[in-house]
Structure 1
Amino acid sequence: MVISNKLSKLYSKQTIFRDKDYLKKGHHPSSLDEVLHRDHIIDIYTNCLRDVMTGSVPDNVFVYGTYGTGKTMLTRLITSEIALAAEIEGHKVLVIYIFCESYSAPSPLLRYINQELVNSIPDLKNKMVGTSISRNLEYFCELVNLIPMPIILIFDEIDKLSNPDIINQLSRIKECGFTQSNICIIGITNDTIFYDNLDGRTKSIIGQNELFIPPYNAEELADILQARANLAFEDKAYEEVVIPLCAAFGAQENGDARKAMDLLRLSGENAELRESLKICEQDVRIAKGKVEINRQVEIIQKLPTQTKAVLFACTHRHGITGSDLETTEIYSSYLNIAEVISLDTVTLRRVGDYISELASIGILSINKISRGRKRGVVNFVKPITDTYIIKQVILQDIRFEELQRRL
């Protein structure tokens, strides 16, 4: 097989990138010393977990904030470094990371946690993990009693759990007399109203320490992008306006550092497409259009099931009527969708909260119209994002398979 002349050009083509990986999502700082503009948050976070330094179990921590603010990155760095520091002091710590989108149901979630606990006990004879929820809970307690160190469970995207009450059960194992010690639970979420939806018991447990991670501003993003650009690009690979412009666009997107870095990387790729060795302002503006589409898809994919149902209801109803919708119209459509996908319904007021959240992230728009003194102000809602993109992304969710069959 012969390589074509067009493809062979790739071998000799000059590049403005020194190492593109520094601008990709998989790259994270290797230590807390490399993290910029998060010193105050790090101080608060480490103080919440300081008890592990003496071999004690710290209180639970609930970490929340918008996309791309470093919640997961900070949590993983802080827990790994504090565990290392504790070990130097003679106290071991076991940290288990759980990505809840992959383990959303109680049974697979418990099996995964138990398997991680089993793997941490080298001389354990019985390494069989249970199948039922009750057996796995029982086995979980047995394993916790066998591990003579603080256990920290990190639930990333905790809002994806199909039954958040499992957090309540795991946290009360000592209180119920099942174990000799507690465990520490760290919950991470982008869903700012997830905490409000929890029942009182679970809320009091997971919210022992609440930590809000604020979005980055334009100046902070510029510093972060500059540090990455120094590693990712060859010298003099971009005009002076490029970094501040990418940072400004990133600040407009709720201070999302990941999106700002995506924008800078795509800007470099655009420059290479036009066979230039320097990124200019136009490259950034072209890249912004690409990032906007990618951002919308990613945000919709990560929405909780209830929010997706409300968004689909709005989009579907808008497609039928072609006009702006009142919240009551959306709620009626939402109830039908919830019935089809066997989803527990929420109140009209809660649907209004979801609509406000979707408006805050640029998926929907809300237009307040006054209908006079007696009827008051009415919200009219419509999708901003391409309705085809919204529907296609939501219908890829396994929870919406039945809805797809009925459309």
Structure 2
Amino acid sequence: MAIKPLEGLKVLDATSNIAGPYGGAILADLGADVIKIEVPSGDPSRSMAPIDGDKSAYFNIVNRNKDLRQINLKSPDGMAELNTLLESADIFLTNFLPDRLVALHITPDELMNKYPHLIFGNLTSYGATGVDASTPGYDATVQARTGIMYLTGEPDGRPVRAGVSVLDIGAGTWLAMGILAAVIERGKTGKGSLVETSLYETGISWVSYHLAAHQISGAPSVRSGAGHPTFAPYGIFKTSDGDICIGVGSDGVFVKLCEQINRSDLAIDPLYATNVNRVANKSTLHAEIESALEGESAIYWAKKLGSNGVPADLVVPPEALFSDEQEKEVGMLLPNPDKESAVKWIPGLPIKINGERPEIYRSAPHKST
């Protein structure tokens, strides 16, 4: 039997694209009854490549476990239908810009005055207030604005977008987390709350370390490639047949690394004995380590180091997870209930409750006809 801790909660999810719908999907996975409100033209994420019938890769991911109601919010009949649904809803999610909320008469003040029990979740690009509140934005553009793109890439290269939509998925997660907190608060007061988050605020949170480091050192932030400005050795290293990622976060782990690669001399070398010195001399240290690794394969070193207390692993594409034995043990990939879809497996929530992972019991809905 599926674990559904949010069973009984009714959510109207009027969000579109990726970030907002992902927040709704989290609530749906946890058992809430989530109805996706879709305009007649369809959610833009249905057409994001690659396409899977009337869905897409993204649409399958961020709209699983939801029911569908097509509503034209620009028509009186559509707004009447929405208000009927709101009468019994616990939660209303949007990612509309402020001007559209006003035009549709569904601002937080209007709806929460009419439905005092309602929890209103609003996810925007740049926040609900300020000079940029009405500015549209996507994951990449806000990565640029918050410094994430500046930090990503090789030291001598141009800034690049992080390979995963970290702001979309992150903001959706914060939205769901805020909604859960508001549910607890309503249990105490009997009243709903306004929960607001944005891609922009999520981006600021993600660069917390760099903001703190700049205040301490006064030095400008830099791109570190696969490495890290705080630790060394840390990053990608060549072996006889491919790359391996090694992460050393303490002097003790560095000693273990040196022992496993038969270079114990490095651990007592004044240039490398402490993390601060290793960071200052990371280029020469990187070369020393690669020289020691060149005689064996990436698989050999990943197993040898990992089994001896040194964080290390292979560098592989995401699709390698389909044959990863560890994934089979933890059961992160769940079957898609839509047997006609090309997407057979979907990552579930990365949490278990009493040993059980919340299920995907309903596939993302087909477009209403």
- Structure 2 length normalisation: TM-score? 0.24
Which structure has more strand as a fraction of its residues? 2
- Structure 1 length normalisation: TM-score? 0.22
